[in-house]
Structures are given as structure tokens and as C-alpha cells.
Amino acid sequence: MIRRSWTRTASIEETLALWAASLGEMKKWIRPLFCQERIARNAGLFLEGLLGDEQRKTGWMRAEAAGDPGPWRQQAILGRRDWDADALRDIVRDYVIEHLADDD
């Protein structure tokens, strides 16, 4: 999906829509790693936060951007043992290969 945008000139709006769709697709790929929808949603918010324009990504800043009352939900994503970090690594690697790797 992303690779398509590099083959032609796209408007800023088209590029942003493409990136938003790609982020949504990545969230779908990682959803099976989480046992509850609430936790998966928080993981998606955490991922969005990492892509935010803040220079520093503290727990409080991430919580504020996600609309949380404090950093606990954001911090729980990192400390929770209910998901497999190796599986996440494999999903991200597969996604990068599928969408960003050169066909050659």
C-alpha cells in the first residue's frame, strides 16, 4: 500500500490518507497479540503516540494525547505480560517486507 505512493506524485491529503490506512492495517495485524479489545485499543493508541510530533514521549504526554487521566494505561502496554514481544517483532518484520521491501 505504501509502496504505491512512491511510484507517483501524490498530494499531501492522499499521502496522509495512505499512511492512516497503513496504520489501521498495522493495528489489525497486531490485534491478535492482545487478549482483550480494551488492551488492543490502548496498544493502538500507544502506537499512534509513538508517531506523534512531540519531541519527548513521556508516559504523561502519551496519556494526555490518548485522552487518559494518567500514564497507567500507556505504561501497562509495555509492562503487560499478556502479549508476545517476539510475535510482535515477527509481525512488524513481515509487514515491512511486504510493504517496504524492493521486489528485487
Per-residue pLDDT of the chain (104 residues; tens, 9 = 90+): 455 545 567 788 888 888 888 889 889 988 998 888 888 888 888 888 888 777 888 888 888 887 888 888 888 877 766 778 899 899 989 988 887 887 77
Domain count, the chain: 1
Residue 12: inside a domain: no
Residue 3: inside a domain: no
Which three cell numbers, joined as nine digits, stand for 11? 498530494
Q: How many Cβ atoms are within 10 Å of 75's Cβ, its own excluded?
A: 15
Please check whether residue 66 is in contact with residue 83, taking contact to mean a CB–CB distance below 8 angstroms: no
Distance CA 16, CA 5 (A): 10
Residue 16: inside a domain: no
Residue 51: inside a domain: yes
Distance CA 18, CA 71 (A): 30
Residue 61: inside a domain: yes
Residue 30: inside a domain: yes
Residue 18: inside a domain: no
For 74, the domain range is 24-100
**Degrees to nearest 5, angle at CA 21 with 26 and 76:** 40
Residue 7: inside a domain: no
